[in-house]
Amino acid sequence: MDVVHSKGKVTKQAHVGVPEGTYEEEHGRETFFGRASHLYRTHPPTAWTRIEGKLRPRAINVNEMKPDDQTQEDGFWQLIAGNQDVRLYVSRRSRPMTYFLRDADGDLCYFIHRGSGTLESDYGPLAFTPGDYLIIPKGTTHRVVPEGDDNFFFVIEGTGEYRLPDRGLMGKHAHFDPGVMVVPEPDPHDEEGEFEVRVKRDNEFTSLFFAWHPLDVVGWQGDVSPVKLNILDHRPVYSPSYHMPPSAHCTWENDGFVICSFVPRPLEEDPEVLKVPFYHANIDADEILFYHEGNFFSRAGIDVGFITLHPQGIHHGPQPAAIEASKSKLRTDEVAVMVETHHPLVVSSEADAVVATEYETSWAAGMGLLGD
């Protein structure tokens, strides 16, 4: 099955010199690592004029979601989407938590979209600012103490452990040296009173009450701890003559999903080279993109704080206007977080309520196929 065939009008080098008047589609297995063929179509495979059925690209305006931690000090996050491996939440916490959280359902990745403050934990405090990834191992007792009241955190709870991907031929110093990650210093508290530790297991909470402050660790040693990494510490891999697949931007791996960081970088220089993501069916993964900052030129109508979800089986790729716009662009200044999941994601009813439905047919709209 590993025999490569070449039939009809093609280019020998994928993503370079795509035949005039064609749209290149990657029909690949295991996202961008497995067997693949490139198909050269005369129409973009994403320009359907309508959809019947439940699979559809979704643009979720997470800015419109209302987690109860936005208004209640003892409130919690709101689910955006999830499956058996990973759950994605939004937190808009406006005040310090009145309880300590110990998540026994999984490791946590807080991505700080907006706001700054301190994440206090057993291991000590970590100050956070926008763009930070805070990785909190399962079972770490912690509390979020924001500085201001306007905060927006994208929370990714994985049932496995967060780990760094194998950088392969690039070597272990590529993207970022592991030493760039910040770990906390002990900061024991000795206040008395009543302190609540809320343990989350199977999405239910059990509260433990203590007569002393639960963050009383005077020292720690080992290879489990919270870590902090800013998304701009992820140094993008770039080629002037080849469009790197999204998998080249992987920052974190977990069981059943990966997190990739798209950060500002120059665009490809070779005029023959595709500068926007090629169309792909992503037949083995659901793709979530969270738009953090910048101008998202490949996706019209998408703004910061939005999430797009592209389910497996439904093609995605750049809107026609983006392909044109990319021809004169030299750089991309967008910052986005991608979560690619092995199993299909189920969208929560709260997220479904803030979907921008015009996104589903925005490729056809961009080609003038939908009328006004």
Residues 351 and 80: beta-carbon distance below 8 Å: yes
**CB 31 to Fe ion: min, Å:** 8
Q: Beta strand pairing status for 132-136 and 192-201? A: unpaired
247: three-class secondary structure by DSSP: helix
Q: Shortest distance, CB of residue 195 to Fe ion, whole angstroms?
A: 44
Give the integer Cα–Cα distance in Å for 333 and 244: 16
Q: Which of residues 302-341 bind Fe ion (CB under 5 A)?
A: none
Give yes or no for residue 286 binding Fe ion (CB under 5 A). Answer: no
Q: Please identify, using beta-carbon distances, which residue of 155 and 276 lies nearer to Fe ion.
A: 276
Comparing CB distances to Fe ion, the nearer of 69 and 287 is 287
What is the nearest approach in angstroms of Fe ion to the Cβ of residue 161? 25
Which residue in 137, 144, 136 sits closest to 99, CA to CA? 144
Residue 233 or residue 287: which is nearer to Fe ion going by CB? 287
Q: Which stretch binds Fe ion (CB under 5 A): 42-50, 94-102, 284-292, 346-354?
A: 284-292
Give DSSP secondary structure letters for 176-214.
--GGGSB-PPP-----EEEEEEEEEETTEEEEEEEEE-S
Tell me the window of 5-13, 22-30, 105-113, 287-295 that interacts with Fe ion (CB under 5 A): 287-295
Q: To the nearest whole angstrom, how small is the minimum distance from the Cβ of residue 103 to Fe ion?
A: 28
Binding residues with Fe ion: total (CB under 5 A): 1
Of 41-49, 161-169, 224-232, 279-287, which part binds Fe ion (CB under 5 A)?
A: 279-287
Q: Residue 316 Cβ, how far from Fe ion at the closest point, in Å?
A: 6
Cβ-based nearer residue to Fe ion, 92 or 280: 280
Stretch that binds Fe ion, among 153-161, 230-238, 268-276, 283-291 (CB under 5 A): 283-291
> Which residue lies nearer to Fe ion by CB, 18 or 285?
285
Of the candidates 140, 138, 98, 94, the residue with the CA atom closest to the CA atom of residue 117 = 94
By DSSP bridging, strand 192-201 and strand 100-103 are parallel
Amino acid at 32: F
71-90: contacts with Fe ion (CB under 5 A): none
Look up residue 177 and give its two tokens. Answer: 């040296």
Q: Which is nearer to Fe ion, 226 or 318 (CB)?
A: 318
Closer of 153 and 279 to Fe ion (Cβ): 279
User: In the numeric block, which tokens belong to residue 17?
Assistant: 């010199």
**CB-nearest residue to Fe ion:** 287
Tell the smallest beta-carbon distance from residue 63 to Fe ion (Å). 23
Q: CA triplet 357, 359, 360: central angle to 5 degrees? A: 80
* Least separation in angstroms between CB 86 and Fe ion: 16
Among 25, 69, 85, 287, binds Fe ion (CB under 5 A): 287
Phi, psi of 265 (to 5 degrees): -160, 160
DSSP 325: H
Are 55 and 311 in contact by the 8 Å Cβ rule? The answer is yes
CB nearer Fe ion, residue 31 or residue 151: 31
Q: Least distance (Å) from Fe ion to the CB of residue 317?
A: 8
The shares of helix, strand and coil residues in the chain, as percent rounded to the nearest 5, are: 10, 35, 55
What tokens were used for 33? Answer: 């690592």
Residues that bind Fe ion (CB under 5 A): 287
